[in-house]
Structure 1
């Protein structure tokens, strides 16, 4: 259902299914383009700019530092200002994507742009999920949340298809990033269409007070205490497992197309094909894991996904070439988006009144693991750029994460909502 405001030419969208699809689009832009288009275009970026593996690893890690900062910012955003902060984050995401069309950018600007893109991604994931999901009725929340989180896989698939298409036409990464930015612009209109309704927005604006920096810190500290009190051990265990989940998957999520390009030299665009497989399975996996979670519970599903992802990290070392890489891609796609959605749902349901803050804590943990992952992988890769050692370390980290999740499951403080 839509209603048209007398003062706005943009309809206000209230249909929950439509909002879920807007949420999918939001995550596709914030994560698929803001985070993972870099992975799809990395082989071409390294070739065109003659970048070393070390610099590529740092460009990946600076984006994850931004993701960490974005999650931290989201934690400070009051619930009443979620939509405004989300809009600002998405504007930054689209601008930072489009800026990479500029030719001959110095490396220092690449670092700044990828940092800003990471900040916007962290804000987009946390505040986008918080804002979108709270618009769903309890009866439809579980189903529609799977549509929303499918945006991560959709964005990965879109990044692979877009890169593949434009490379075959003879273009390079700069044009790919420009097209990504242009195709992201309609999101701003759609997010405006699901803004808080006028009466609520006016009331919220009237209620807004602008505390000092010191008071903001004390408010945050009090909110953090209220969010975790009685749940400290459970939150620590879940956050610890999420650090290892971020560390575990990021080696594949950053370097898998490069590994495919290195090893599958007889396959044209092998890196993009393998990245497309990741996106397709990520896109299709969320409804599957959502249905399973309703039967066996979110935490049991999360444990199973973590085990599955750990197995996927070990496979390339056991099976060389196409079998190992394609198996890793399928398992990565099947597991990581589900792990993100399950973890965020579990942690926000520990204390729903502080969902932004708790989801921010979880994302900080995930980002910390992602920052360390590429640096460790590059260090282990050596002069031969062999990434198998990094995958083995990632797999071991995920196994430790499973142990933490098993301990978390035993905690009585957890509050779980379907």
Structure 2
């Protein structure tokens, strides 16, 4: 793509606030739609396609496996091609969103589409974060980073509102996914605007697979040097964090639809999750400045663990709404705290360390739905899955407390 053509298509965006909101839009598309619109539309998908809970769980897990693969790919993307790769995979995210308008697709094609959507989400999540945050000045980074991460909550809220509105008008998941894809298209133009300031074309000298592996291995060794124990503890806790929250963020609307008389209960409760992410994420950033990121992360992990138990302690709407509120309060905060902690262990290799953490999170998310549907059995009872999620989060909490006891130089 020639620089002169790009300059004519979209002027460069240099205002930091505008860049932050472009990042918000990007996460809303690749995460809010690319990953979590599936949660909002899942009850309707299961009804229209007569899917079992087991198949729904596998569709979710395939997407999360794609997220794992995407995070792995992003770790190999050279810095000089970050922007180009982000454009490519954001476009793929939008395409896979719009493909679900084909409601009569074979099941195997559903798996392929959801896998590609997950890969796109993983790559775009990491690369957009890298590209956007590096444009922020030191004094504005904390505030504007929360704007960027709020995109996840905005996307979840938008997915709930869009699904709720179109279902009320008599449409189904196919039209919902089409409208989501169309509303995502302006993002590509905005991403052209936050291209790197250098007008030179990137040097795309081909490398052998062996040389790429050698370079990656060398960088990985340098990145974890002196921090191996700390990175292992934090990554293991992040696996359990991904495992813990995913039961709710995959099946919460299904649980609400099954337990509550209101036909739109699942979407109302999913909207609560998104709004709470938007409202509370900046608060955790302010709190972290006062008590530290690791202490904030420990508190959020404890709170989220109790949130998993709330539907078991309180039946019906009370338990489900408590779960939704706590998930929304803690989800983005736990992500941003963990990524900030791990990338600051070795700022020179921050992209690589963020990629490692994202791999850990994605692994937990892949396992979570499979464990949940296995425990649910034919009865579609998610109580055992919630219990396992809560226990996993408590184990992750112990690992974080151990992590905090390490010498300061190790973390």
Same fold (TM over 0.5): yes
Cα shift readout 1:128-174 (whole Å, capped 9, x = no counterpart): 11111011001100010000000011100000000001000110000
Cross-structure match for 2:247: 251
TM norm structure 2: 0.97
- Alignment match, 1:41: 41
Deviations 1:291-346, CA, capped at 9 Å, x for gaps = 10111111111110000000000111111111100000000000011111111111
Partner of 1:241 in structure 2? 237
1:105 maps to 105
Which aligned pairs between 1:186-265 and structure 2 lie closer than 5 A?
186-197=186-197, 200-202=198-200, 205-206=202-203, 208-264=204-260
Secondary structure of 2:171's counterpart equals coil
Partner of 2:337: 342
From the superposition, tell whether residues 6 and 167 of structure 1 become closer, same or farther in structure 2 (CA, over 3 Å). closer
Partners in 1 of 2:128 and 2:407 — Cα distance? 29
Counterpart contact for 1:79–1:356, Cα < 8 Å = no
Closer/same/farther in 2, CA of residues 213 and 157 from structure 1, 3 Å limit:
same
Q: Which 10-residue stretch deviates more, 308-317 or 404-413?
A: 404-413
Partner of 2:75 in structure 1? Answer: 75
Q: Does structure 1 retain, via aligned residues, the 8 Å contact 2:269–2:321?
A: yes
Question: Considering only aligned residues, what root-mean-square deviation do their CA atoms show, in Å?
Answer: 1.4
1:80 Cα deviation from its structure 2 partner: 2.0
Q: CA deviation at 1:116?
A: 0.4
Q: Which consecutive unaligned segments of at least 5 residues does structure 2 have?
A: none
State the Cα distance separating 1:401 from its structure 2 match: 0.5
Instruction: Call closer, same or farther: CA 1:155–1:18 in 2, change over 3 Å.
Output: same
1:259-274 counterparts in 2 under 5 A? 259-264=255-260, 266-274=261-269
**Secondary structure, aligned partner of 1:209:** coil
Distance 1:96 1:224 in 2: 32
| Distance across 1 between alignment mates of 2:353 and 2:407 | 18
The residue aligned with 1:381 is: 376
CA positional deviation for 1:413: 5.7
Provide the residue aligned with 1:137 in structure 2.
Answer: 137
Q: Secondary structure at the match of 2:306?
A: helix
Q: Find the aligned partners of 1:5 and 1:364 in 2 and give their Cα distance.
A: 36
| C-alpha displacement of 1:184 | 0.4
Q: 1:402 aligns with which of 385, 397, 405?
A: 397
Preserved CA contact (<8 Å) 1:86 1:123: yes
Partners in 2 of 1:262 and 1:25 — Cα distance?
32
**2:252 and 2:101 mapped to 1: Cα distance?**
24
C-alpha distance in 2 between matches for 1:205 and 1:125: 22
Q: TM-score normalized by structure 1?
A: 0.95
Distance in 2 (CA, whole Å) between partners of 1:275 and 1:331 is 12
Separation in 2, partners of 1:413, 1:6: 46
Partner of 2:304: 309
Q: Judging changes above 3 Å, is the alpha-carbon distance between structure 1 residues 225 and 413 closer, same or farther for their aligned structure 2 residues?
A: farther
Distance apart, 1:209 and its partner CA: 2.6
Q: By how many angstroms is 1:268 displaced?
A: 2.5
Counterparts of 1:201 and 1:216, CA distance in 2: 26
Deviation per CA, 1:62-121: give whole Å up to 9, x if none: 000000000000111122221111111101100000001113100000000000000011
Distance change in 2, residues 1:115/1:414 (3 Å): farther
Tell me, what secondary structure is at the counterpart of 1:12? coil
Tell me the distance in 2 between the aligned counterparts of 1:235 and 1:413. 13
CA distance in 1, matches of 2:36, 2:243: 16
Aligned length: 408
Q: Is the contact made by 2:226 and 2:410 (CA closer than 8 Å) also made in structure 1? A: no
Distance in 2 (alpha carbons) for counterparts of 1:215 and 1:350: 26
> Unpaired runs of 5+ in structure 1?
none
Cα contact 1:160–1:275 (8 A) shared by 2: yes
Are residues 1:286 and 2:281 paired?
yes
Write the distance in 1 (CA, Å) between the matches of 2:74 and 2:408.
Answer: 25
Task: Quote how far apart the aligned CAs of 1:411 are.
Answer: 2.3
CA contact (8 A) 2:297 2:338 kept: yes
